[in-house]
Structure 1
C-alpha cells in the first residue's frame, strides 16, 4: 500500500518508519488518498474502507 500511496502522490510519511508496518504516517497518507475523490469528514479518516481500498488498485495478497 505504501508504494501505491507514493505513486498517487499521497505520501505523507515523515518519520522514516518501515513501509511494511501500518502506522500514523500511513494514516495521514491514506487520508490524503481518501480526499482525492472528494471524501471528507469521517469518510476520510485514514482507515481503509471498501470504496477507498478498491480505488488505488491494491493487489489482492
Structure 2
C-alpha cells in the first residue's frame, strides 16, 4: 500500500481501513446489518485527517 510505504498511515491503519471497507460493503449490499461502532467511525475520521495533508484525499 502506497500510504503505508510513504509512511502517511501505519500498517495498523491500513488493516483497519480494509476491515471497515468489508463492513461497509456487507452493509451496502444487504449481506449484513452490522453498523460500525462509534469508535470505529472516530478512527476512520482520524485516519482521514492524517491522509488529507498528504493530498491523497479530496473532500470537495
Which structure has the bigger radius of gyration?
Answer: 2
Please report the TM-score for the alignment, with normalisation by the length of structure 1. Answer: 0.30
Please report the TM-score for the alignment, with normalisation by the length of structure 2. Answer: 0.31
